[in-house]
């Protein structure tokens, strides 16, 4: 084996999206490429590995490894590290493809190959690819009240829409599969929504997982900076921020994902340097218009000036989480040390890094009065003066301890 690191493609996607079909096609059409595969399955029997073994001759050479009865993004991550290190020691191959289970979060798996570990010593993460089922994608975000709230099996009742959005937003390449089973209008709408959810990803249409290997092998398109920060100050960046200091402005980013907006998929960026009144924000969040498919960001809540709260909505599910301290609320020595080491931290002379940065994506969301409704949630001058820096009765039950979260089902 050469001393250069082996490129890794992480293949994610929901249950039934077509990951195994894609991988089978990849192996059958590998040509002179030497590909090793690691397949993860939540069940005790690794069905995907069985299907791959039956469809190709890679298994005969020991090129297919299995990790069953658990998920590689959490309880089986140590086993993943051990197994990929064993593959690198025992076999000679050019590429590694990791097929994650249908309920795996891509980011924790990706970090295994980007931090100090036995895996990172032998491998280099190259491509994050997500397979999306064209027949189910739009239904997952349907705003109809008759559509039941779907959850990811085995994921402790985690909403399917929430997991799917994470798999989509983390990807470098999005494989829109089963394109033969939807009409042209649905296909174009799905493609437009994918491009808006993840403007930086390449969208490739596929049928039965038939993909050119060059689309997901050794693409060189993985950027470790896109995985976000670990620890320290809470971070969030809206697409195309101008300068990070928008005290009384909002931005309408309509055309950054595709040149034309045939189906009215738009996004609104919202930035403020004034906190939300907790109860009024809660009312708005519980009554989001069905046009909003996805929204996310950081919130500054009045009376909670030491803890930043993240906000995440995907389809019918909203989640608030206390993600970390506002640096402005730290003791002066800690605050100055952090700022010295993080020159890009958005900072205001009066409020420090306390801010709200949100983005809303959906069908003509600019017509849904989002900005006006959010502005009405901001504390007034009188409220702010009366509140001071004292905790308020937040009523709605926002998380206050770092790491704590609360989830809302909008159905």
Identify any residues that bridge with 311 across adjacent strands, giving them in sequence order. Answer: 297, 320
131 lies in the same domain as 217: yes
195 lies in the same domain as 303: no
Question: What is the enclosing helix (H) or strand (E) of 249?
Answer: strand 248-253
pLDDT of residue 146: 37
Could you tell me if 7 and 218 are in contact, meaning their C-beta atoms sit under 8 angstroms apart? yes
69 lies in the same domain as 187: yes
213 lies in the same domain as 337: no
Task: Give tens-digit pLDDT for 206-239.
Answer: 999 999 999 999 999 998 776 643 333 444 444 4
In a domain, 329, yes or no: yes
pLDDT of residue 164: 87
Long-range pairs of 281-284 with CB within 8 A, sequence gap ≥ 24: 281/374, 281/377, 281/396, 282/395, 282/396, 282/398, 284/373, 284/374, 284/376, 284/377
Residue ending a domain, choose from 176, 197, 227: 227
In a domain, 233, yes or no: no
57 lies in the same domain as 202: yes
In a domain, 64, yes or no: yes
155 lies in the same domain as 61: yes
pLDDT of residue 331: 93
20 lies in the same domain as 169: yes
With vertex at residue 76, the alpha carbon angle to CA 72 and CA 80, rounded to the nearest 5 degrees, is 70
Could you tell me if 222 and 37 are in contact, meaning their C-beta atoms sit under 8 angstroms apart? no
177 lies in the same domain as 270: no
- Which CATH number belongs to the domain containing residue 219 in this structure? 3.40.50.300
The phi-psi region of residue 345 (left if phi > 0; otherwise alpha if psi is between -120 and 50; otherwise beta) is: beta
Residues of the chain where predicted confidence (pLDDT) is lower than 70: 1-3, 41-77, 142-160, 226-264, 367-368, 387-396, 411
pLDDT of residue 128: 95
pLDDT of residue 305: 87
With vertex at residue 355, the alpha carbon angle to CA 351 and CA 358, rounded to the nearest 5 degrees, is 170
Range of the domain at 376: 248-409
Task: Give tens-digit pLDDT for 45-78.
Answer: 333 444 443 344 443 344 566 554 344 444 455 7
In a domain, 236, yes or no: no
274 lies in the same domain as 362: yes
Residue ending a domain, choose from 194, 227, 260: 227
252 lies in the same domain as 222: no
134 lies in the same domain as 201: yes
In a domain, 51, yes or no: yes
- Which CATH number belongs to the domain containing residue 313 in this structure? 3.30.1220.10
Domain count, the chain: 2
In a domain, 148, yes or no: yes
In a domain, 242, yes or no: no
Residue 121 contacts by C-beta under 8 Å, 6 or more apart in sequence? none
327 lies in the same domain as 216: no
In a domain, 346, yes or no: yes
């Amino acid at each position: 084996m050469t001393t250069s690191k082996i490129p890794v493609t992480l293949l994610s996607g929901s249950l039934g999206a077509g990951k195994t079909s894609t991988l089978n096609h990849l192996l059958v059409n590998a040509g002179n490429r030497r590909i090793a595969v690691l397949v993860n399955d939540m069940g005790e029997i690794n069905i995907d590995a069985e299907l791959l073994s039956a469809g190709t001759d890679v298994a005969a050479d020991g090129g297919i490894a299995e990790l069953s009865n658990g998920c590689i993004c959490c309880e089986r991550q140590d086993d993943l590290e051990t197994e990929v290190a064993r593959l690198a020691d025992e076999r000679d191959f050019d590429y590694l493809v990791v097929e994650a289970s249908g309920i795996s979060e891509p980011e924790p798996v990706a970090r295994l190959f980007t931090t100090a570990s036995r895996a990172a010593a032998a491998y280099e993460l190259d491509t994050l690819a997500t397979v999306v089922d064209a027949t189910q994608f739009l239904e997952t975000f349907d705003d109809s009240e008759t559509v039941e709230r779907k959850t990811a099996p085995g994921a402790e009742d985690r909403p399917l829409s929430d997991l799917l959005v994470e798999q989509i937003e983390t990807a470098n390449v999005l494989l829109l599969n089963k394109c033969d089973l939807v009409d042209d209008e649905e296909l174009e709408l799905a493609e437009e929504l994918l491009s808006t959810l993840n403007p930086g990803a390449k969208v490739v249409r596929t049928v039965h997982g038939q993909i050119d290997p060059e689309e997901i092998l050794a693409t060189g398109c993985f950027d470790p900076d896109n995985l976000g920060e670990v620890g320290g100050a809470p971070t969030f960046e809206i697409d195309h921020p101008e300068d990070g200091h928008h005290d009384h402005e909002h931005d309408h980013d309509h055309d950054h994902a595709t040149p034309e907006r045939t189906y009215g998929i738009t996004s609104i960026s919202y930035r403020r340097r004034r906190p939300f009144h907790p109860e009024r924000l809660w009312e708005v969040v519980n009554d989001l218009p069905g046009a909003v498919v996805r929204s996310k960001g950081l919130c500054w809540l009045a009376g909670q000036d030491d803890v930043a709260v993240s906000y995440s909505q995907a389809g019918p599910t909203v989640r608030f989480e206390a993600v970390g301290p506002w640096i402005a609320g730290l003791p002066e020595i800690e605050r100055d040390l952090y700022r010295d080491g993080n020159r890009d931290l958005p900072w205001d002379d009066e409020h420090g890094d306390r801010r709200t940065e949100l983005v809303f994506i959906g069908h003509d969301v600019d017509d849904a009065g989002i900005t006006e409704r959010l502005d009405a949630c901001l504390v007034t001058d009188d409220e702010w003066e009366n509140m001071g820096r004292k905790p308020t009765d937040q009523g709605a039950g926002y998380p206050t301890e770092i790491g704590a979260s609360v989830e809302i089902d909008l159905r």
